[in-house]
């Protein structure tokens, strides 16, 4: 069986945000044929896109998986639904959000899945979490390390390590 290292970003800004992140990581580890091998600290972050909502808690997860990208996405959406995420508008408040940031060194471009995550390189909150556990990993499109992208990021949104 072939395993790939992938990186996910979890986020929550409704309910017990820290508990939501912990539950998501446990469900990923227990129900998806993925192994969570490392987690970043939790960061309190300003909302992205729609600003009139509560701050988020975000955390990056390093996983080892044999699932292909589309199946991995399907499993993450199933966890969001199981945890009670309701369909809503883009960038609005949510109980849990799980994004695939990187999947090995692969590039995927389809209507419902783009890897690396298309906003990763311009979002301070995502880069801050990810650089803690994958600072030396090169972005497959921008050919810079995650740490370098974080240093050069022009997004000045509030990001506080808890």
Q: Is the pLDDT of residue 57 over 70?
A: yes
Q: Is the pLDDT of residue 75 over 70?
A: yes
Which value, in Å, is the radius of gyration of the alpha carbons in the chain? 15
Mean pLDDT of the chain: 94
Taking the C-alpha atoms of residue 160 and residue 115, their distance in angstroms, rounded to an integer, is 26
Q: Which residues of 88-111 are buried (b: 16+ CB within 10 A; e: fewer)?
A: eeeeebbbbbbbbbbbbeeeeeee
Which amino acids are annotated catalytic? 85, 94, 97, 99
- Spell out the SS3 assignment of 115-145: ECCCCHHHCHHHHHHHHHHHCCCECCCCCCE
Note the pLDDT tens digit of each residue in 106-156: 999 998 999 999 999 999 999 999 999 999 999 999 999 999 999 999 999
Q: Is the pLDDT of residue 82 over 90?
A: yes
Kindly report the length of the chain: 162
Residue 89 pLDDT class (50, 70, 90 cuts): low
Residue 69 pLDDT = 96
Q: Is the pLDDT of residue 88 over 80?
A: no
């Amino acid at each position: 069986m072939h395993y790939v290292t992938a990186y996910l970003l979890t986020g929550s800004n409704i309910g017990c945000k820290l508990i939501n992140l912990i539950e998501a990581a446990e469900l990923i580890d227990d129900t998806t044929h993925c192994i969570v091998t490392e987690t970043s600290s939790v960061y309190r972050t300003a909302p992205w896109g729609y600003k009139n909502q509560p701050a988020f808690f975000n955390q990056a997860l390093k996983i080892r998986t044999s699932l292909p990208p589309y199946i991995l996405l399907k499993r993450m959406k199933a966890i969001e639904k199981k945890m009670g995420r309701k369909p809503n508008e883009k960038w609005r408040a949510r109980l849990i959000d799980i994004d695939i940031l990187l999947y090995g060194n692969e590039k995927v471009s389809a209507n419902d899945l783009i890897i690396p995550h298309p906003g990763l390189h311009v979002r301070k909150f995502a880069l801050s979490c990810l650089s803690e556990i994958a600072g030396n990993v090169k972005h497959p499109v921008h050919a810079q390390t995650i740490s370098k992208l974080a240093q050069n990021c022009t997004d000045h949104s509030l990001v506080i390590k808890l």
